[in-house]
Amino acid sequence: MKYYNKNTILKIMNKQFVEKVILKIKNLLPFLLLISCISCTDFIQVDPPLNTLISETVFKDAATVESAFANIYVKMRDQGMVSGSSGLGAMMGLYSDELDYYLNDINYSEIYQNHVSASNTIIYSWWSEAYKLIYAANDILKGVENSDALSAEDRDRFKGQALFVRGYMHSLLTSIFGDVPYITTTNYVENNKVSRTPAATVYNTIIADLTEAVELLKDSDSAVERVIPNKEVANALLARMYLYTENWELAEATATKLINTYTFESNIQKVFLKNSSGSIWQLKPDGVSNRNTSEANQFIIRFIPGQLYAMNNNLLDAFEPGDLRRTHWISNMTSSDGLVTLNYAHKYKALFNVEESMEYSIIFRLAEQYLIRSEARLHLGNIPGSQNDLNRIRNRAELPNTTAETQEELLSAILQERAVEFFTEHGHRWFDLKRMGRAKSVLEPIKLNWSDKNLLLPIPEKELEFNSNLKPQNTGY
């Protein structure tokens, strides 16, 4: 099979693709007209002010609160940064060195080309959807505190979940935008005038919220599906925050708690199944129309031309010979004329039209905790311990023990292992390159528009127009 570079592929596919698009538009026109009529009823509804959640609910029973949380997790699954069609897994895969983009949407292209404008609608949706979830979490906190009907046990678990959600969404926002407002109230007058908090303070506040959440939450969810944040989920994010803030002792200790609690999934083909023993927290599909994950449906290539993404050669070249992740987590598709073969992320394998839910969207898994502890132990001078944790991940992929021995060698080995373990998952690759100071050296040679300003994305211009206290814009935008 002959492989072509991306430019050659685009030339080959262009004529076929345009013809197919024209045909699809003709076939879809009646449907689009129907949808436009339906949407009119939504258009006339008046939205609350930007950046606000003005309802302050007093919850009278546990079922009401659980319903409110279910709505939060559905929105995490379907829109914004966490999952869905424009989640961090795909977008930051384009932004870094994991994915190539093949269509013509300007917002996607800006991200792929490292030339993001402040008017980019994807960036705006990340910001606005994240703060809507934060406001919803704050609304629950306020409602729970005002409720005399809830038991003390229920109040604790609901407060713990809300603090986790608030901390989690702020952790994503500050990783992308740098200094961001840390919102702890539903008062829309205050929220509409809020200014940005220094990133270091945001991380400290996240850690404070998560520490309180750990004290409030229980050890497991009642459904045993790992879809409800519990004590271990809060600890998983806490370990990540300790890693990001270079608090090595607490990163090691917190990761160890999780490693001692969960069972490492030894079968690489079962890692992304819904009942994987290594899953710490996951989002459940709706089980009606979409019985499996958005990740499978956006990454799996079913037709060429017509694909949205394909794996970048830089990522493909990162796998060592014999790595089972290369065998089982990446597949390929060849065009009908045999001229083009593209590789795609195949961690999730079940499409929406499969009758049974086989996979949930995994947010935290145990492999991350091993690599967090490996990095923390390295910085604490525990070379053998760092190697042991790294080898646990490598050996599952049937790779030999690492040959890295010095601190610099091991740090590079950990970054490499994270790249081939977490590709297309929640922006891990981008966050790792940035926090380790490797973004420029890795991306500048392969990204035409690379600039140091790209370490942060721009604050959406709509937000700056609405609230001048968010100024100044991030440097370079």
Over the stretch 375-413, which tens digit does the pLDDT of each residue have? 999 999 999 999 999 999 999 999 999 999 999 999 999
Give the pLDDT of residue 286.
86
Q: How far is CA 58 from the centre of its chain?
A: 31
Is pLDDT at 105 greater than 50 in this prediction?
yes
Q: Are 141 and 157 in contact (CB under 8 A)?
A: no
Q: Are 193 and 467 in contact (CB under 8 A)?
A: yes
Is pLDDT at 122 greater than 80 in this prediction?
yes
Q: What is the number of other CB atoms lying within 10 angstroms of the CB of residue 341?
A: 17
Give the pLDDT band of residue 27 (cuts 50, 70, 90): very low
End-to-end alpha carbon distance in the chain: 44
Of the listed ranges 37-41, 202-206, 207-211, 261-265, the least confidently predicted one is: 37-41
Q: Report the largest interatomic distance among the alpha carbons of the chain, rounded to a whole angstrom.
A: 69
Give the pLDDT band of residue 42 (cuts 50, 70, 90): very low
Give the pLDDT of residue 224.
74
Average pLDDT of the residues of the chain? 88
Average pLDDT over residues 218-236: 85
Residue 83, helix vs strand vs coil? coil
pLDDT top residue among 123 and 29: 123
Best CA proximity match to 130, nearest among 90, 89, 92, 181 = 181
pLDDT in tens, 410-425: 999 999 999 999 999 9
What is the rounded (10 degree) CA torsion for 428, 433, 437, 440?
Answer: -150
- For residue 190, the surrounding DSSP H or E stretch is helix 188-191
Is pLDDT at 448 greater than 80 in this prediction?
yes
Domains, the chain, ordered by start: 47-286+361-470 (1.25.40.390)
Is pLDDT at 152 greater than 60 in this prediction?
yes
Is pLDDT at 15 greater than 70 in this prediction?
no
pLDDT top residue among 50 and 116: 116
Give the pLDDT of residue 38.
29
Residue 344 main-chain phi, psi, to 5 deg: -140, 155
CA distance 53 to 271: 38
Q: How many residues does the chain have?
A: 477
CA distance 72 to 83: 13
Q: What percent of the chain has pLDDT over 70?
A: 87
Tokens read off for 170: 């702020």
Give the pLDDT of residue 191.
86
Of the listed ranges 61-70, 136-145, 333-342, 351-360, the least confidently predicted one is: 351-360
Give the pLDDT of residue 192.
86
**Rounded to the nearest 10 degrees, what angle do helices 62-78 and 121-145 cross at?**
170
Cis peptide before 305 (omega within 30 of 0): yes
The CA distances from residue 48 to 55, 122, 129, 166, 339, in Å, are 10, 21, 14, 20, 52
Residue 362 main-chain phi, psi, to 5 deg: -85, 130
Give the pLDDT of residue 59.
79
Residue 374, helix vs strand vs coil? helix
Give the pLDDT band of residue 57 (cuts 50, 70, 90): low
CA distance 430 to 419: 9
Give the pLDDT band of residue 16 (cuts 50, 70, 90): very low
